[in-house]
Chains A and B, each alone.
Chain A
Amino acid sequence: MTSLPANPSPTKLGLVVDLDICVGCHACAVNCKEWNTGGYHAPLTDTNPDGTDPSGVWFNRVHAFEAGEGKAGRTVHFPRSCLHCEDAPCVTVCPTGASYKRDEDGIVLIDESMCIGCKLCSWSCPYGAREYDADVGVMKKCTLCIDRIYNENMEIVDRVPACVATCPAGARHFGDLGDPASDVSRLVVDRDGYDLMPEMEIRPTNKYLPPRPRRDEDGAITAATSMEDASPEGGFLGWVDKLLSGAGDVK
């Protein structure tokens, strides 16, 4: 079995996903796929790409579902990828040391050269965030774009995961969740960010931000819910003259 870092650094790189503005467009999922199919875990194999039941390796998948009915009902778009847990069971369950958590930044990675494809890690992950590539018989997963975030051949502004760079709505944030002063940590505090399935007690690094309170009739713009009639005064459209009484003065 594989050990978690004995003396982890305080740095915990991860993602913060804002469910208030995720529209479920799959940009993160597809851009992740196109980056990573040529990256650390290349390729992200597709089986039967043009056939019946095509399926492939995706590090990030977006689920759409409804929760509740009627006024309380919500349509949820939920992007799901590795959460780089602090107590990652996918690491401790690994018989070969292929699945490991990096000391320096907390990223959970797979060393394919040591992976025997036993799938214990995918069984142990409560989030289903591991992706088995049957073509090569190894497990693959989100690397937090480790080949981008430190990449000295890229401009600094580009050194973020592909899913974050491409997200059209700005619903994905990347940073150090171990640093309470970081933008992502502050976002989590300000917006009541939460752990996915905290009852599993595996301390995911990635956080989700819940939808903001809605500004529907319960969070109305103004206390009034209807308007007074303007017409009786001055007869039909008499109010127009009043509105125009200042006309001619240029604003």
Chain B
Amino acid sequence: MKCKITPQNMPKLVISAFLLQHLHFVIRQNRFMRRTDVGDPDYFHKVVDCQWACPAHTNVPEYIRLIAQGRFDDAYIVNRNSNVFPGILGRTCDRPCEPACRRTRVDGKAVAICRLKRVAADHKSDISDRIPKAPQQKNGKKIALIGAGPASLTVANDLMPLGYDVTLFEKGPQPGGLMRINIPAFRLPEEVLDEEIGYILDMGVDARFNTPVESLKEVLDSKEYDAVFVGTGAPKGKELILPGRYDTDQIFIGIEWLESIHFGHINSIGKRVLIIGVGNTAMDCCRSSKRLGAEDVKVVARKTRKYFKASPWELEDAEEEQVEILENLSPVRFVLEDGKLVGLEFDKFTSEEINGKLVQEPAGRVTLDCDSVILAIGQENSFPFIEREIGLEFDKWDMPVVDKTTFMSTREGVFFGGDSAFGPANIIWAVEQGHQAAISIHQYCQGVPIDQRPPKGMTLANTKMGLHEWAYSNDYDPSKRQKMIHIDLPTRFSNMTVEVEKGFTDEQTRAEVQRCLNCDIQTAFTDSACIECDACIDICPVDCLTMTPNAEEPELRQHLKAPAEQLDQALFVSGPLKQTGRVMVKDENICLHCGLCAERCPTFAWDMKRFVLHLPHAGAPAPVGTVREALGA
């Protein structure tokens, strides 16, 4: 199309040309990857794989550096700020951080994050003066917590310093919930529990032990409390009703049995024990059996090892104690002779992986001899104290309807957290849900809408100390993961309460801390400074960086110096570079955070900056405006 230019249509033409060009720009933008928004705290947070995977977002690299400097107190406090129970979790956490650890993708083994947490807890001095205190002046609001497990304790931890009056109802004689009565003392010594729970209760919590709540309606009707938090866990072990189940007294429910051991009601078991189920509770049961004198202990699973619910390290620890783990067996009936349990009959299966799915075919039957059986096939919730007509809705699985963000039930002012909210999970989840519920309770009591969640914040701080010096240990240490030293078998079997893991030695700690890749020391890129000299690309030991014409993500991932095939790992994409219009792309996947890109950059386009994620807690919003400052804008 041709168009004659006249003074009259000139402005229109100019505008049309501008719009066309702009439209073209918009279309191009959609075909290419957008410039990564590193001002969104989630971007750099996701690079810190361990912190991203941790439900409570513990700042792992930071506390590992503090341990490396021998600052155990500071390391403990960094932990406590997010996960509240470093000593407990340093022994018992399910460690979602470790499978996520970048080191796994570099040399096959994660940093021993969990055990380093224990190092901080074991080596700290008296930190009681660093624990938040309740103010003299109370704020006039009263909160009831039902159940004294990790979720309720976290709520108390967060609300006490804000001036709340917190009353804790616990049916048992001591606080701790599952952490105390279900986790055997050989994994978690009682002193550790007492100390860390003590920090919270000593803030002035009105803890009422041996005081079960029989009726939530009564609590609510008393109008004594401004809010109620239910943290009663999933305290009921699942039953397995098979022929013969009730004809003997040698069949136990796992968590009840562990509880009985804790209270000293049980101190013996048959010589031959079968554990049904293969979760972490089953591991505690089989190992406890060995300590009660059982000689032949077998754990029996329906599926194959790949599908076991127990953590790999818990399986290994059980096998180290000569526990046999059997696969492909499904129980059908208990075998009794003269009223005495003598065996358990199973359906056998063959197993085959077909297209990534487990296909099992029947393969006859087998009877295993035994004197006792422990059922560890899962836990259930139980809310006998909650009346169904108080406006608190239950779903078809008889679970309370709880908002996943605010943790409030359908009855205003009643909150849930931990296993009682969404079924059995791990301690660290209970802690995080406790934090979130505490935020909600605080906002609820202060008249702030609870769905207005306080935002996260971040800071980025320089780590450059000199021409080639950084405020962190940037060299890659090829050390292998340190192996936890265990106490010898005869000693552990002699006593229920001898802790199996000895903790890392000083040498082990020194080696292990250096394995951390400092993923929170971020590679920060300034497009406008880049002269496209290739220095960063040439020096990168793991081929993370590429300068390339922009494209859509799937195409870009294939055209990098090393293909970026780990799709859950982000690509950083810069804006167009000055000289060629290409973009700088970084595959975050296996960056060692060694800082060599920044050392070799002549214009400081690359810099290493320490990322700190600021998480809001009840009454303590994340610092505002830090994102802009962080980026120097």
Chain A complexes with chain B: no
Interfacial residues, chain B to chain A (CB-CB below 8 A): none
A residues lining the B interface (CB < 8 Å): none
